[in-house]
Amino acid sequence: MLNPLYRRATFTLGAPTVAYLPPDSGYEVAFAGRSNAGKSSAINSITGQKALARVSKTPGRTQHINFFELEANLDPTLNQGRRLVDLPGYGYAKVAHSVKEQWQAALEEYLNTRQSLQGLMIVMDIRHPLTPFDQQMLDTCHHAHLPTHILLTKADKLSKGAAGATLQQVRRTLTERYQTEKLIPPFRGGGALAHPAPEATPSPPEDDAPLPTVQLFSALRGIGIEDAHRKLDEWLKLPTPSDPDAINT
């Protein structure tokens, strides 16, 4: 069942740089993904709202770090706020190089310094999962010990069997990549999301780095919304009912 807090989510701030972020208190979960992967549609379906996040046919329209408050009536200084965060898309964005550089700098600082950030939902088109850009984002989160959960969106575009096979293949790839090695962070001078490294450099294993989890998702058909809610409830420290079908991690 959808926690009523999600339906009460409201847009509160669009930060062009980290200098404009709200106070670093409470709990927040961010959404990231390649442009045109369905990130805005996922946020809207998860919150049960049609137009909370802007859906556009033009990739790269999200140019700020957008915050949606779940408890807008609470004093933000009370360390009780809970927020969803929509990060700028990466990959296909047809924007000026200077704007991309600004996004990259803001994203790097946000992911590495934001204390209230509890986890990152990475949105991937199930027909094109684990692109080099996605892998760079996963590597960064792994190095930062930031929990990540992947939404394989547009699952309705594949048959049930094909979608299930893709899900299992992504799980195997994540297990092989992150249970056996730790990767040096991809964010380096010049912006790794603009020019992802062809290969990550392995370093000694790090046992306490969380393994990414993954699920099927379709905003159009409502596939996986309850699973996404359970993960969000966990990260945002919200009470959830006992459910034997909890997310398989």
- How close are the terminal C-alpha atoms of the chain, in Å? 20
Structure tokens that stand for 87 in this block: 């990060």
Ranges 102-116, 189-203, 214-228, most confident: 214-228
**pLDDT 10s digits, 184-200:** 444 433 344 544 444 44
User: pTM score, two decimals?
Assistant: 0.82
Residue 243 lies in a domain: no
Q: DSSP class of residue 7?
A: H
Residue 230 lies in a domain: yes
Helix (H, G, I), strand (E, B) or coil at 68: strand
> Per the structure, how many domains does the chain have?
1
Residue 173 lies in a domain: yes
d(CA 177, CA 34) in angstroms, rounded, equals: 20
User: Residue 189 maps to which CATH number?
Assistant: 3.40.50.300
Residue 214 lies in a domain: yes
* Share of residues in the chain with pLDDT > 70 (%): 75
Residue 92 and residue 103 in contact, taking contact as beta carbons nearer than 8 Å: no
Host domain of residue 98: 4-235
Residue 220 lies in a domain: yes
Residue 98 and residue 39 in contact, taking contact as beta carbons nearer than 8 Å: no
d(CA 234, CA 144) in angstroms, rounded, equals: 19
d(CA 9, CA 71) in angstroms, rounded, equals: 7
The pLDDT assigned to 72 comes to 54
Residue 200 lies in a domain: yes
